[in-house]
Structure 1
Amino acid sequence: MASPIQSAATIQAVPLDKAFRLLNHGPTVLVSSSCNGRSNVMAAAWNMPLDFNPSRVAIVIDKKTYTRELMEASGTFAINVPCRAQADMVIKVGLSSGRELLGKTPDNKVAALNLPTFAASQVEAPLLEGCVAWLECRIIPEPHIQQAYDLFLAEVVAAYADSRAFSNGRWHFDGYDDLRTLHHVSGGFFFTPGEGIATRQD
């Protein structure tokens, strides 16, 4: 099993018209947000691509979350696609509340869980190291569906992927099992993608 150790050399930009493929297989994601120096991150399983030109996504974020508060304040957020090697971290993120840390030291979940990050190029939200894909997103304001259904639409303004697992618009995990994406079923149980089957080029 190949090492999941990542370097800057393995992180490559993804053309925006191919960014939808980073979410097309339904992975669990980590949503990061930031505004005026305050940051948070949460786990989310209900997300999907909407379009590829321009690249758009949809994601459900509950009204009670601190991540949503920062998203709405900044108008932006980031989607981080974690991998098998990060399963325990994803559970910790999902079971903790950034709002409960306010007024404490450290006062945000990213710092409290000692999550290494790097800077995004187009949004304020931090990107989480060790993930296999990242999408920087700008919210498309739709107040009715945001309030009624907790559903956010966003345009992807930048996208990146670990080239060991995604390149030329395709996922490929052979030889890198620890980089396989996570798919949450329930109760802290995940599965990962299995064998890929190629039928034709498109």
Structure 2
Amino acid sequence: MQKLVAVDLAKSYRLLNHGPTVLVSSAHDGQQNVMAAAWAMPLDFDPPKVLVVVDKATHTRELMEASGEFVLNVPCRAQAEQVLRAGSCSGKEVDKFAACDLTALPGEAVNAPHVADCIAYLECRIISEPHNQQHYDLFIGEVLAAKADADVWHDGHWQFDGHDDKRSLHYIAGGSFFSIGEQLSVSATPPQ
């Protein structure tokens, strides 16, 4: 069983700061859906906010707009095939959780589900910005809860060494991904 640790909301932006592909999950009125998204990023620290681009034509967006909430799930290398499938079919036509062999787990602060076995979860309430949503498909979410996999999240940072199957995914198009690579830390000397 995966062990999750709570993430300090002031540091929750670090779950996305390295630019991973995410699975956006949503739910409303007995329906739920999940989609893959490559365009998600942290926006602010206090309160913590994120941005995600969700096309008008998606079922996930319909559920997000109806419920006012969503979850950004950070999938890992072991889930690459499932992520690609989630980005290749419509939730209007199939139950994407079943079709993509994904398991929905209940959220804590929102009704939208988590996707099991992802390495991080950011539960979000939509901050309504109708102009950005309609013209740019851009949604702002206030992060209400955040958790990360204790195997790869330590001391407020990602630490993937020894857990290659849990490295985050980064979509580069055409069914190809990178998984995050080697971590290195540097110190900068201030300019003289």
Same fold per TM (> 0.5)?
A: yes
Secondary structure of 1:95 counterpart: coil
1:150 paired to 2:137: yes
| 1:14 paired residue number | 7
Superimposed CA distance per residue, residues 72-108 of structure 1 (whole angstroms, 9 cap, x where no aligned partner): 000000010000000011011110110123xxxxxx2
Letter in 2 for 1:184: Y
Which residue does the alignment assign to 1:68? 61
- Structure 1, unmatched stretches of 5+, are 1-6, 102-107
The correspondence for 1:56, drawn from 49, 67, 70, is 49
Is the contact between residue 23 and residue 37 of structure 2 (CA under 8 Å) also seen in structure 1? yes
How far residue 114 of structure 1 moved from its aligned partner, in angstroms, is 3.5
Structure 2 residue identity aligned to 1:15: D
Percent identity of equivalent pairs: 56
Is 1:180 aligned with 2:167?
A: yes
Distance in 1 (alpha carbons) for counterparts of 2:106 and 2:5: 14
Secondary structure at the counterpart of residue 102 of structure 2:
coil
How much has 1:38 moved relative to structure 2? 0.3
**2 CA distance for matches of 1:67 and 1:114?**
17
> How big is each residue's C-alpha offset from its partner over 1:26-68, in whole Å with a ceiling of 9 and x where there is no partner?
0000000000110000000001000111100001000000000
C-alpha distance in 2, partners of 1:77/1:167? Answer: 25
Q: What is the aligned partner in structure 1 of residue 36 from structure 2?
A: 43
**Cα separation, 2, equivalents of 1:167 and 1:13:** 11
Give the drift of 1:152. Answer: 0.4
2:179 is matched with 192
Q: Which amino acid aligns with 1:64?
A: A
Contact 2:25 2:72 (8 Å CA) reproduced: yes
Matches within 5 A, 1:156-171: 156-171=143-158
Q: Distance in 1 between matches of 2:101 and 2:80?
A: 15
TM-score, scaled relative to structure 1: 0.90
* Cα distance in 2 for residues equivalent to 1:144 and 1:117: 31
1:169 CA drift (Å): 1.2
Pairwise CA distance, 1:158: 0.2
Q: In the alignment, what sits opposite 2:17?
A: 24
Q: What amino acid does structure 2 have at the position aligned with 1:177? A: D
SS in 1 for 2:78: helix
Query: What is the alpha-carbon distance in structure 2 between the residues aligned to residue 127 and residue 31 of structure 1?
Result: 9
Structure 1 runs of 4+ aligned residues shifted over 4 Å read none
Question: Could you tell me how far 1:111 is from its partner in structure 2?
Answer: 3.0
CA distance in 2, matches of 1:162, 1:40: 22
Could you tell me how far 1:164 is from its partner in structure 2? Answer: 0.7
- Aligned CA RMSD, in angstroms, stands at 1.0
State which of 86, 99, 118 in structure 2 corresponds to 1:131.
118
Following superposition, the deviation at residue 118 of structure 1 comes to 1.5
1:167 offset after TM fit, Å?
A: 2.0
In the TM superposition, residue 155 of structure 1 has moved relative to its aligned partner by 0.2
